[in-house]
Amino acid sequence: MIEYLHVKALPKELADWRDQIEEIAADEGLDFFKTIFEVVSYDKMNEIAAYDGFPTRYPHWRFGMAYEQLAKSYAYGLSKIYELVINTDPCYAYLLEGNELVDQKLVMAHVYGHCDFFKNNFWFSQTDRKMLDTLANNASRIRRYMDLYGYGAVEQFIDVCLSLDNLIDFHRPYRPTERQQALKPQSDLPDELIGAGMELPRLKAKEYMDEFVNTDSYLDEQRSRADQAKKEQARHPASPERDVLYFLMENANLTRWQRNVLEIIRAEAYYFAPQRMTKIMNEGWACFWHTHIMTQRGILDQSEVIDYADRHSGTVAPHKGRINPYRLGLELFKDIFERWNKGKFGRAYYECDRLAQKENWDTGAMQGKQKIFDVRRHHNDLTFLDEFLTPEFCAKQQLFTFENNPRARQWQIASTEFKEVKSKMLSQLTNMGQPIIEVYDANFNGGELLLTHQFEGVALDDTYTKPTLKNLYAIWKRPVHLFTYRKEKGREDAKSILISYNGSSHEEKPFDLE
């Protein structure tokens, strides 16, 4: 067991409030793992935050850099961490020493919202609930590798792996193995068609009808399919693999310790992925419940109203130039709660063409609470916004898209149209805003690695593309290529290109994947 698990008991006053808030949260229908609170100093809070909420991690310079940033931000009054909670069973949450009582009560109510979300949201269902022990074991293994093979060599390899930790398939944990196999494209060509020198299959026909049944175009099609089958048979993997780290782990020429380190980085990436996939929902859900518990269930004292309003408004205030996930998630949950309480859903409501009638619509359905719990269970940020974002909500929240105007030399509002706003938000959330990269062929040019980019109109940024190829080369140890598209100035269409790295330099040239 980790020494950090032996937490200190809360002061009696905080313990009493914790018990009261926990009882109210359970009474409201929240279902959470046992939640353990500990009060820590701001130094310890910054240390835990730098370790992504965990007390023990492997040695690496990025944790020290994160700690310095947090410590300086706190010292200069630029930011302050009020709480940290981690997705484990039991859940561990940290309260900042010296905070006022109203802050601690707000944080505890907020934490129970998070804990309920961790336990019940589908996208957290495949995460390791014993991650405290897992990360401690990972740290021990990596320290042992550093003792055996040198601190610098191991840290440098970790740098390479961390730079690639977004090249995973975020949906892989939710597909059973059998279903994954079933989803793999199977060749529908007969066995005799596959392989060199095999005769093309012909449809059965009388000799005098053969030229009309087995036409030249049909035989050309079969010949094309045979050629494609041969290419696919030679390709490895047989179908594109989105989990690039898994493919490298299984196929790259790595030593045992390197493969183990890559496996650790990949496993941790999958653990943290749901938190990135549900940031808006998770924070919105916690804000919804801390608001309700504090203001509607008697936790907030009259003398604390001003201080509470100050803390809450600071959390959900709009952010200039970007979405505040706390605000968006909270307001959308409130909107769903109100709509389903008033019956603003279903065919009758959506087919109503009278604006005043829709505005005052209220059937007394009172299904809001049940609905938000259903939403909390099944959705992630992408599906949450796709299904529940409405034109009325966007107008009320004054959402818009913006872009840089080169003539005015400033950023300006581009559109307030609902479709464009929604499309922009969904595009930023798809694959968590990361480009979709897949392994296409590891036998390219006799063993070189070819990856493809699913181009959706946005070109890759060379600031990241070229270093990524360089780090992929460090693992694959042979030339690495990336097929993508790039738009030229003054042209609407995009040209297909191949960006390559051979170990010493990058090269870019036109390329046709087919």
Which tens digit of pLDDT belongs to each residue from 216-258?
677 677 767 765 655 555 788 989 999 999 999 999 999 999 9
CA distance 60 to 157: 11
Number of residues written out for the chain: 514
Give the percent of the chain with pLDDT over 90: 62
In a domain, 378, yes or no: yes
Q: Which two tokens stand for residue 389?
A: 């974002």
Q: Indicate whether 199 belongs to any domain.
A: no
Q: How many CA atoms lie within 13 A of 384 on its CB side?
A: 32
Is residue 426 located within the same domain as residue 327? yes
Residue 267: domain span: 133-169+242-275
Q: Which of 221-235, 251-265, 271-285, 453-467 has the lowest mean pLDDT?
A: 221-235
pLDDT range class, residue 142, cuts 50, 70, 90: very high
Tell me the two tokens of residue 324: 């505040």
How are beta strands 448-453 and 437-444 bridged, if at all? antiparallel
CA distance to 316, 410, 458, per residue, from 434 (Å): 26, 26, 11
**Considering 412, 430, 448, which residue would you say is the last residue of a domain?**
430
- Would you say residue 412 lies in a domain? yes
Q: In the prediction, which pLDDT does 21 show?
A: 97
Residue 334 lies in a domain: yes
Q: Are residues 342 and 396 in the same domain?
A: yes
Residue 445 or 408, more confident: 445
The letter for the amino acid at 68 is E
Is residue 514 scored above 80 in pLDDT? no
Same-domain pairing of 337 and 451: no
**Domain count for the chain:** 4
Q: Is residue 323 domain-shared with residue 419, that is, in the same domain?
A: yes
Confidence (pTM): 0.85
Q: Residues 287, 110: contact at Cβ < 8 Å?
A: yes
pLDDT over threshold 50, residue 177: yes
Both tokens assigned to 461: 């940024």
User: Within a domain: residue 226?
Assistant: no
CA distance 349 to 179: 38
Q: Are residues 253 and 293 in the same domain?
A: no
Q: Is residue 222 part of a domain?
A: no
Q: Which residue among 408, 430, 452 closes a domain?
A: 430
Instruction: Let me know if residue 174 belongs to a domain.
Output: no
Q: Which stretches does DSSP call E strand in 41-86?
A: 83-86
Query: Mean pLDDT in the chain?
Result: 87
Identify the domain boundary among 430, 459, 475: 430
With respect to residue 264, please indicate whether it lies within any of the assigned structural domains: yes
In a shared domain, residues 267 and 347: no
Q: How distant, in Å, are the alpha carbons of 161, 165, 277, 455 from that of 237?
A: 21, 20, 27, 20
Mean per-residue pLDDT, 268-273: 95
